[in-house]
Structure 1
Amino acid sequence: MCSASEGTDGLRFPILIGDIGGTNARFALLRDARAEPETFPIVQTADFPNIDDAIRAAVFDNTAERPATAVLAIAGPVDGDEIDLTNCPWVVRPRTLIADLGFQEVLVLNDFEAQALAVSALPDSGRQAIGGGTVREGSSRVVVGPGTGLGVGALVHARGMWIPVAGEGGHVDLGARTARDREIWPHLETIAGRISGEQILSGRGLVNLYRAICAADGVEPTHPTPASVTEAALNGRDGQSGEAVQLFAEYLGRLAGDLALLFMARGGVYIAGGIFQRIIPIVHAPEMRAAFEDKAPHEAMMHDIPLFVITQPLAAHVGLAAYARNPQAYGLETAGRRWVG
């Protein structure tokens, strides 16, 4: 019979690591503590009714080796034996994974805990600076990632170890500050009357912002998806898509600055996810950096905090692998989140 375990003693290899978002599921196999993760084809969550079938198709159909442990990062709060994803109909049932797929143990984290773990292990080549600032080693770090939703996580250092902090920071309120914001805000789609970070700073949020700009300008929107808005902006097809991308970056800078203040993140704020990487070529970095630093009365302190874009491919896998190799180096609470057969 399976039961939750509270220990963080060594995990059993081989270890399946998985980064499960609202749209994509990315799996890799860590054969031992010295190996690099062996990646498998990325699968779309919409193509499978549950994570069990996705693991069978993406992993078991591509290797004869069966993992003993699964360390899964999922986009949603981890609570109980049935774990719902925020932007996907999958429900992760660790006891079922053990019973049906043969795992000896399953550990489930929040996806931005994995991203937070990653920023403890990223090489310098895996990040690109936006503006100046100096990383203070051992200081708190924050990661924020626009994707299907908007993820937020933090990493604090205490008692000789890194401690990831999960949360639902993507659902904080965003408000209008400029005259242009006040023209756009009335046209944004809300959730129960609220404009949260995720309502703008996500894939669907980019479309929401673009449509609101079109409404403010009195023109019909023609781009129905995040990809089409991004492509139009990259190719300079129309002013509304270009403005949507620029404002997306500035609003992300504002929120990143708020998060830096919240965690006193002198170790830096890190932007994760593919959406922002795709728009980097046309983002006006000085305006984004100015929005990040515009936090009176603390502009001087903000000027010294670095802001990075994570460019490392599959960064969550870097974090999960770092933890799997040496769990004792991380203050990760596993009570209620680790199941052992």
Structure 2
Amino acid sequence: MGTLANHPAALPLSQAARPILAADVGGTHARVALVAQGVDARAPVQVLCHHRYVGAEWPSLAAILHDFLGKHAASAPQGVERCAIAIAGFVLGDSVANSNLPWRVSLSEIRSTLGTDTLEVVNDFEAVAYASQFVDRTEATTILPGQPADPRSPVIVMGPGTGLGSAVLLPGAPHAQVLSTEAGQIALAPGDEVETGIWRILARSRPYVSYEAIISGPGLLNTYRAVCELRGGEPSLTTPDAVSAAGIAGSDDAARTALDVFCAVLGGFVGDLAMLYGARGGIFLAGGILPQMREFLLASRFGERFFNKGVMRPFLEQVPVWLVDHGHLGVVGAATLHPGARVGASH
């Protein structure tokens, strides 16, 4: 569903023998890896070992990193050169601002636990967007074929998980740049009467309804509960995974409707981003949710709503859309993202 390709344009990692400790931290999972420089320019990065942690099962991110290093000490006998973390949210003083994380992230605690002062923190979708240039597009799942991607044009990487992340890759020399965004917080625009009814229900409990209120794991559960209320029923499913599974299986009609709305709203939102950034380079759908619903997404109203942009349809018909498994993208992006490649981000 999309793998890292050998890519000569990657920023070389340090020549030092010590590997880099890299982590990709979301609201649900923390992916941690030891990353070393590849063998040559065609293989610029090498993931030595990796593990995916369930964040809520650990008291802190520092504890996760300490556990990982303890289990993989043989891969870093001289310690690590530095620690690079891609994380949902943004740095605010000593902590990371994000209400979706299961614990407070203390940068000083991580430095103390690891015994290093060299700690780099970037937004998680910044890292994924930077790593997207190393993805073999022929191995990604094509959602909309479009035309051959323009290598000079922006590439969007976005995806729902515990939240809704989005970033833009801007090709260029000597290296690509990444524009970090908070596009998931754009105001939700309902596309039909059902979505308007869902919006009204969501608006009762919050002063502002963003796209993330539907296009995320918690958003899918929000949508399911709203659909049940619109139909005068009681929700029986209590987790996003349960809603997704029941919707795909067709065992719960409200869940199936919620999943249909999720995919339709996603299509409209992605189409808006494609127009906003002129993304002829293509769009990667990532995140932790979409790979689980690949077949449903392919058969959904995603494409219908993506193209439903009036006079802009001919432009959107040129834009390819791929689904890629998040996999190692975040840790590779964190390890290779050059500070000069970051545009408009908070660190």
Q: TM-score range by the shorter chain?
A: 0.7 to 0.9
Corresponding residue number in structure 1 for 2:200: 186
Q: Which structure 2 residue ranges, 5 or more long, are not aligned? A: 1-10, 40-44
Task: Give the secondary-structure state (helix, strand or coil) at the position aligned to 2:179.
Answer: strand
* CA spacing shift, 1:229–1:140, aligned 2, 3 Å: same
Q: How many residues align?
A: 326
Question: Are the counterparts in 1 of residues 190 and 199 from structure 2 also a CA contact under 8 Å?
Answer: yes
Corresponding residue number in structure 2 for 1:16: 21
Give 1:128 shift: 1.4
State how far apart, in whole Å, the 1-side matches of 2:327 and 2:138 are.
11
Question: 1:107-143 deviations in whole A, cap 9, x for unaligned?
Answer: 1100010111121111124421112212111210111
| Identical pairs, percent | 30
Give 1:269 shift: 1.5
Question: Are the counterparts in 1 of residues 151 and 171 from structure 2 also a CA contact under 8 Å?
Answer: no
Corresponding residue number in structure 2 for 1:30: 35
State how far apart, in whole Å, the 2-side matches of 1:222 and 1:101 are.
44
- 2:154 corresponds to 1:140: yes
- 2:216 corresponds to 1:171: no
Corresponding residue number in structure 2 for 1:49: 59
Corresponding residue number in structure 2 for 1:5: none
Give 1:86 shift: 3.5
- 2:73 corresponds to 1:63: yes
**RMSD (CA atoms):** 2.5
* CA spacing shift, 1:217–1:154, aligned 2, 3 Å: same
* CA spacing shift, 1:259–1:191, aligned 2, 3 Å: farther
For residue 39 of structure 1, the aligned residue among 49, 57, 64 is 49
Give 1:270 shift: 1.2
Relative to the length of structure 1, the TM-score reads 0.87
Question: Are the counterparts in 2 of residues 122 and 312 from structure 1 also a CA contact under 8 Å?
Answer: no
State how far apart, in whole Å, the 1-side matches of 2:215 and 2:88 are.
16
* CA spacing shift, 1:252–1:334, aligned 2, 3 Å: closer
Question: Are the counterparts in 1 of residues 90 and 96 from structure 2 also a CA contact under 8 Å?
Answer: yes
Q: Which structure 1 residue ranges, 5 or more long, are not aligned? A: 1-7
State how far apart, in whole Å, the 2-side matches of 1:319 and 1:285 are.
31
Relative to the length of structure 2, the TM-score reads 0.86
Task: Give the secondary-structure state (helix, strand or coil) at the position aligned to 1:42.
Answer: strand
Corresponding residue number in structure 2 for 1:279: 293
Matches within 5 A, 1:1-341: 11=14, 13-34=18-39, 36-64=46-74, 65=76, 66-134=79-147, 135-188=149-202, 192-285=206-299, 287-311=301-325, 313-321=327-335, 323=336, 327=338, 331-332=341-342, 337=347
State how far apart, in whole Å, the 2-side matches of 1:125 and 1:59 are.
34
* CA spacing shift, 1:91–1:310, aligned 2, 3 Å: same
Question: 1:297-318 deviations in whole A, cap 9, x for unaligned?
Answer: 2111111111111136332234
